[in-house]
């Protein structure tokens, strides 16, 4: 399967941009703390452009909608309160902080930005969430690895139950770096598949790719020389966002292809997933959305 056309590179695809972004966030947080304790006689920066409690996708309430999906009766792990969760590109850690209200198991947030990790640790020190600096493209652990010594200390043996990506693939898609003749975004789906345990789920949310494009990226063929041509993921469910019409065409402002499962486990995902009562699995949609089926 041919992957979608690449996006044009942008500064949002560089590590330097995000280090600077979260460094400003840390400075803003420090100013807030100083103001609270009366230790600063300087005015805080009112022009600061990021609310520490929000994220890239707050306009469409993406974190809440993903949370709704993961805790809905149609999601197989919703009743498993101890499910392990990995957040790739955790940013300020707000997604995991939200999920902590429902899941009590091991939670790890990783980011290649050291400033991001520092910020997340400061904001969520009381929530029993581990935040670590990690670059998936440079050193990727694998759930299939036979040696635990190859894994970083935070990696859950066998892989995580739920692996989250909220905008990380977007940023990587804007990176111009090329490895082995490929843009690094082409390598990302294969690398993420090694983080998910058998029977686990990868949840990807994007604002740069349409739903169809996102699914092509992650359900396409793995052309890694060592693995041969094998499919990577199968789609289990999705979350819809507000749709719009323009010039006779329908689209959506944001897309989330939820619950992608490694095709190795495709036996647990029939062509049309069913629930215990035999009905076709209904993917999660907020009350103001219509329902679709795969």
What is the domain-level CATH number for residue 129?
Answer: 3.40.50.150
Helix (H) or strand (E) holding 258: strand 255-262
Global pTM reads 0.80
Cα(235)–Cα(262) distance, integer angstroms: 9
pLDDT less than 70: residues of the chain: 1, 37-60, 140, 142-149, 221-230, 240-259, 263-294
Cα(54)–Cα(175) distance, integer angstroms: 24
Helix (H) or strand (E) holding 198: strand 196-206
Asked if residue 289 belongs to a domain, the reply is no
Task: Output the pLDDT for position 53.
Answer: 38
Q: Which two tokens stand for residue 36?
A: 């609270």
Asked if residue 274 belongs to a domain, the reply is no
Cα(188)–Cα(16) distance, integer angstroms: 20
Q: Please tell me the total count of domains within the chain.
A: 1
The model's pLDDT over 82-94, given as tens digits with 9 standing for 90+, comes to 999 999 999 999 9
| Sign of the four-CA dihedral 221, 222, 228, 231 | negative
Q: Which two tokens stand for residue 195?
A: 């983080």
Which residue is associated with the tokens 């063929």? 221
Asked if residue 71 belongs to a domain, the reply is yes
Asked if residue 113 belongs to a domain, the reply is yes
Task: Output the pLDDT for position 5.
Answer: 94
Q: Which two tokens stand for residue 202?
A: 């990868």
The conformational region for residue 91 under phi > 0 = left, psi -120 to 50 = alpha, else beta, is: left
Helix (H) or strand (E) holding 206: strand 196-206
Helix (H) or strand (E) holding 163: strand 160-166
Asked if residue 44 belongs to a domain, the reply is no
| Sign of the four-CA dihedral 231, 237, 239, 240 | positive
| Structural domain range at position 150 | 55-268
Helix (H) or strand (E) holding 20: helix 15-36
* Distance in angstroms between the alpha carbons of the first and the last residue of the chain: 19
Asked if residue 277 belongs to a domain, the reply is no
* Number of residues assigned to the chain: 294
């Amino acid at each position: 399967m041919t992957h979608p056309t690449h996006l044009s590179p942008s500064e949002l695809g560089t590590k330097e941009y995000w280090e600077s972004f979260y460094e400003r966030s840390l400075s803003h947080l420090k100013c807030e703390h100083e103001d609270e304790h009366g230790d600063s006689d300087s005015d805080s920066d009112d022009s600061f452009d990021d609310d520490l409690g929000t994220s890239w996708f707050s306009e469409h309430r993406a974190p809440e909608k993903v949370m709704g999906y993961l805790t809905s009766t149609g999601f197989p792990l919703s009743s498993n309160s101890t499910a392990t969760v990995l957040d790739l590109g955790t940013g300020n850690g707000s997604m995991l902080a939200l999920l902590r209200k429902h899941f009590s198991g091991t939670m790890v947030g990783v980011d290649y930005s050291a400033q991001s990790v520092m910020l997340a640790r400061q904001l969520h020190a009381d929530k029993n969430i581990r935040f670590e600096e990690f670059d998936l493209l440079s050193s990727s652990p694998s759930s299939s690895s036979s040696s635990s010594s190859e894994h970083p200390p935070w990696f859950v043996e066998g892989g995580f139950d739920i692996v989250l990506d909220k905008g990380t693939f977007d940023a990587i898609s804007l990176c111009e770096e090329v490895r082995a003749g490929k843009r690094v975004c082409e390598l990302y789906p294969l690398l993420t598949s090694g983080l998910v345990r058998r029977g686990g789920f990868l949840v990807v949310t994007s604002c740069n790719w349409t739903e169809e494009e996102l699914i092509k990226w992650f359900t396409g063929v793995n052309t890694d020389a060592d693995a041969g041509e094998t499919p990577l993921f199968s789609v289990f469910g999705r979350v819809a966002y507000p749709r719009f019409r323009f010039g006779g065409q329908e689209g959506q402002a944001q897309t989330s292809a939820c619950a992608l499962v490694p095709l190795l486990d495709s036996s647990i995902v029939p062509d049309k997933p069913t629930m215990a009562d035999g009905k076709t699995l209904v993917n999660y949609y907020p009350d103001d959305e219509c329902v679709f089926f795969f």
